[in-house]
Structure formats: C-alpha cells, structure tokens
C-alpha cells in the first residue's frame, strides 16, 4: 500500500500522538498547512474545503467529524482532502475553548442557563449518559430497568445547546479561515507556477545552447575535409 506506515504504532502510541504529536502541535500545524497549500486544485475549492473542515470542529458529533466535513465539502463543491485536513483545527488544545464557546452561545440562543463549572458539569453528564447507555444495553439481556434520565439530561443541557450554539462560531471560524486561505493559496500557486515556468525556460535555453554547440561542431567537422583537400591541391 502506498500510504501504509512502515513503522507500526501501538495503541498507546496512537493515543499519545493524538494528544501530543511528535515534534509538538506547532510542527503538526505547519505540516497540515504545507499539505493544504500543495493540493492540486483551484484556490476556491481548497478554501471551501477549509471552511467545511473548520465549521465541522464546532459540531458535537465527535468521532464522525471526517464524514461530516467530507459531506459538507462535497455539497459545497469544495476539496474533500482540504476539509479533512482542516478538522485538525479541533484538537486536544482547542476542544475545551470550542466546547465552552459553543455551549455558552447555545444556552444564550435557547434562553437557558449555562453552568459556570463547565469542567465538573460536563464530566458528570458524560458519565451519566455513558452509565445509561451501558445499563440500557444490559437491560436487553437481563431484568434491569431502563432509565434514560442521564441521557435526557445530557441531551437537554449539553448536546442540543452545543449543536445549536456551534453554528454561529462555526460559521465565523470557517469564514475567517476561508478569507485567510484563499489569497494565500492563490499567491502560493501563482508563485509555484512561476517557478516551474522559469525552470522550463532554463531547460529550453540549455537545450538550445546544446543544439547550437552540436551544430557548430558538425559544421566544423564538415568543413575540415575541405580544408585538407585545398592544402593538397596547393
């Protein structure tokens, strides 16, 4: 396979690289920026893909961000690879501020109250939702009662406000990313085309010089017997 890793990583190494990539997040960000700039597509399509990827990071559908970004990019006629790369905007360093901004905006739009102790509140609600999922799954094979209170609380106070509140900051972040990336990618592609054109021109000039030298050498070889015959005649 072309994209298969030569060095297989263990599960712990994969988790560690997700939390803190080798070389740090700055190097990882530079790598993603480099890959996005070099995508073989128009600047407009790449920028639309960036918009889709950055917008997706403000949705609460963790685990399927790649699929949502690809779907949005497809619907917007954007570059899917740019969309997938731009989901990198959501990472362990930015998930907390993204979540807080989305939750605050969502509760403000819905007219509900936002819990200031967001860390403890979110953890407890996530645990309650997971507890309900586990117990309700086990209830299919046992006499345990079904209880959806934890999931209902999680949906009402976390998931739904997050989903509604992420729309506005997601659109703002995606639009800012689009406006920044479009001129940068356009300038990069123009500069790269100019460099490639200059290289081709240099190759053409070198080839022309070689042809001239070969022509001069062939003329010299052709004229050499004539000079010898003239000396013999004299």
Q: Mind giving me the DSSP string for 69-126?
A: HHHHHHHTT--HHHHHHHGGGSSTTTHHHHHHHHHHHHHHHHT-PPPS-HHHHHHHHH
Q: Residue 6 in 3-state DSSP?
A: coil
Mean pLDDT of the chain: 75
Distance from C-alpha of 104 to C-alpha of 112, rounded to nearest angstrom:
10
**Average of pLDDT values for 46-74?**
91
The 10s digit of each residue's pLDDT in 19-54 is 445 555 455 555 555 566 667 778 899 889 999 999
CB atoms within 10 A of CB 29: 14
Output 75 or 35, whichever has higher pLDDT.
75
Q: What is the pTM of this model?
A: 0.69
pLDDT of residue 15: 46
Output 206 or 9, whichever has higher pLDDT.
206
Output 77 or 203, whichever has higher pLDDT.
77
For the chain, the first-to-last Cα distance in angstroms comes to: 76
The 10s digit of each residue's pLDDT in 102-116 is 988 998 998 887 665
Q: Report whether pLDDT(216) > 50.
A: yes
Q: Report whether pLDDT(84) > 60.
A: yes
**Average of pLDDT values for 71-90?**
88
């Amino acid at each position: 396979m072309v994209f298969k890793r030569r060095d297989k990583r263990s599960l712990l190494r994969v988790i560690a690289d997700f939390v803190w990539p080798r070389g740090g997040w700055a190097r990882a960000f530079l790598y993603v920026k480099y890959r996005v700039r070099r995508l073989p597509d128009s600047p407009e399509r790449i920028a639309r893909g960036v918009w889709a990827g950055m917008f997706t990071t403000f949705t609460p559908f963790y685990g399927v961000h790649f699929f949502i970004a690809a779907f949005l990019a497809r619907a917007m006629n954007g570059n899917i690879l740019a969309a997938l790369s731009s989901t990198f905007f959501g990472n362990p360093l930015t998930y907390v501020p993204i979540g807080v901004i989305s939750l605050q905006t969502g509760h403000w739009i819905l007219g509900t109250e936002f819990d200031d102790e967001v860390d403890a509140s979110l953890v407890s609600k996530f645990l309650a939702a997971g507890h309900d999922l586990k117990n309700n799954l086990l209830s299919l094979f046992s006499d345990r009662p079904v209880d959806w209170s934890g999931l209902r609380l999680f949906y009402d106070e976390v998931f739904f406000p997050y989903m509604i509140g992420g729309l506005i900051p997601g659109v703002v972040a995606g639009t800012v990313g689009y406006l920044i990336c479009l001129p940068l990618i356009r300038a990069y592609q123009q500069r790269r085309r100019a460099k490639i054109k200059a290289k081709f021109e240099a190759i053409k000039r070198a080839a022309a010089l070689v042809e001239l030298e070969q022509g001069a050498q062939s003329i010299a070889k052709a004229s050499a017997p004539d000079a010898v015959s003239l000396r013999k005649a004299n």
